[in-house]
Structure 1
């Protein structure tokens, strides 16, 4: 079980306590935690600049702050510093820019650590990941796949029954469009299956009226809507080390 699943209920409680205050951008946001002190650092907890916190041996806490994620490991006292935000605009803009269709057809991001192909945009729906997906309201829904070597067709069906449809990725393409005639309804579950023997993944959608302009505020919005797949994606892409 991933840290996202373990901390989902804790994150909801944390958001209820801290709210989405206008000052959120000034504080770091916990995006993952594990170890003996994990209960003290639920996903969504805010830690102010200069605030000292103590970790124990075996603790790992990842905090989104100053436009990037920092990983703190116990044991000892730690605090958020004033690290440079030079990479803030590049990393955050790359994740959140709503690309034009022609520009978004191909390309991917490969993790330098693992070599794994990563979804380059928060607004692309990974056909292999289940969960709730946050999207800008009225945006075009684009499906994304990691393996682009061959043509592949996916079946999309409402989980509660009803007519479905098929989406085909041409060989060499990482993106395909959701059926514009059947736009996803907020909160409705959809199953995405590709007929390769693996079970379908189930996704739901939440739509943001406005997209927060800072990583910290967007992280809070993702947590509030339960969009933990994208929270994980953002934390991985913006890790400073």
Structure 2
């Protein structure tokens, strides 16, 4: 017969062995961009773990964000999701930083022959794109325009029972301007129309709050998807996809 101390030791060893035998939890990822013939099979928002395989056809491109990095998978073929994700933590941090400045003098990235203008922050509201906007603070809304030339004034008006409205002026070469919360308080769920300098509608917006900070791209992507913030999801996916492809 075994002594009590021996039985306790054997039980501890058995428990340790069982723990070692447990499978390692797979890292879950989320599809944030999907184009090509298989896009309906792997739509945006699909959750996949890093041990999963996906089969793509020629012309397919699927971008998956995980806590480990970004994976851009191109068909045709069968691929393991977790193979060689590219980490772009600096780019993600830059894109999602809660900036204190009310104005930024440039948002342009210039190429050799043409100029591609990109919004430098997920938290700047693109006044040319309609949709739901996710923000952390509705009292510090900053508007962003793609162009930098010339002074331009836009009007933002609340839709519905209130007739509140305010003008926002972008100075020459400036792409970001702060919205005065005293003149135009933004409320969660409210709808707002942005009108351009020529009097035509530029965008229709509504706002929702993010309740917590998201330090990982996949967690932020899932939050944006759940709240319907497709413009920001598109910007997040495109930025990290470009960084992943540049890294090889």
Whether the TM-score (by the shorter chain) exceeds 0.5 is yes
Relative contact order: is structure 1 or structure 2 higher (C-alpha 8 Å, sep ≥ 6)? 1
- How far residue 66 of structure 1 moved from its aligned partner, in angstroms, is 4.8
Q: What SS class does the counterpart of residue 38 from structure 1 fall into?
A: coil
CA distance, structure 2, for counterparts of residue 155 and residue 62 of structure 1: 36
* Shift >4 Å, 4+ stretches: 111-114
In structure 2, distance between residues paired with 1:121 and 1:128: 15
Flag structure 1 segments of 5+ consecutive residues without an equivalent.
Answer: 1-24
Residue 125 of structure 1, CA deviation: 0.4
Higher gyration radius (CA): 2
- Superposed displacement of residue 122, structure 1: 0.4
Aligned partners of 2:132, 2:198: CA distance in 1, in Å? 23
What residue number does 2:168 align with?
Answer: 167
User: CA offset at residue 175 of structure 1?
Assistant: 1.2
The alignment partner of 1:218 has SS state of: helix
Alignment of 1:124 with 2:127, yes or no, is: no
Deviation at 1:109, TM superposition (A): 4.5
* Bigger Cα displacement from structure 2, 52-61 vs 212-221: 52-61
5 Å-filtered alignment, 1:1-241, equals 26-66=27-67, 68-80=69-81, 81-85=83-87, 87-88=88-89, 90-101=90-101, 104-110=103-109, 115-137=115-137, 140-160=140-160, 162-181=163-182, 182-196=184-198, 198-239=200-241, 240-241=244-245
Instruction: Give the CA deviation at 1:111.
Output: 7.0
- Confirm or deny: 8 A CA contact 1:67 1:215 kept in the other structure: no
Aligned residue pair count: 215
Tell me the TM-score normalized by structure 2.
0.79
Give the conservation status (yes or no) of the 8 Å contact 1:137–1:209.
Answer: no
Give how far 1:237 is off. 1.1
C-alpha RMSD of matched pairs (Å): 2.4
Q: Contact (CA 8 Å) 2:187, 2:207: kept in 1 or not?
A: yes
TM-score by length of 1: 0.81
Secondary structure, aligned partner of 2:219? helix
Any conservation in 2 of the 1:55–1:74 contact (CA below 8 Å)? yes
* Alpha-carbon offset, residue 209 of structure 1: 1.7
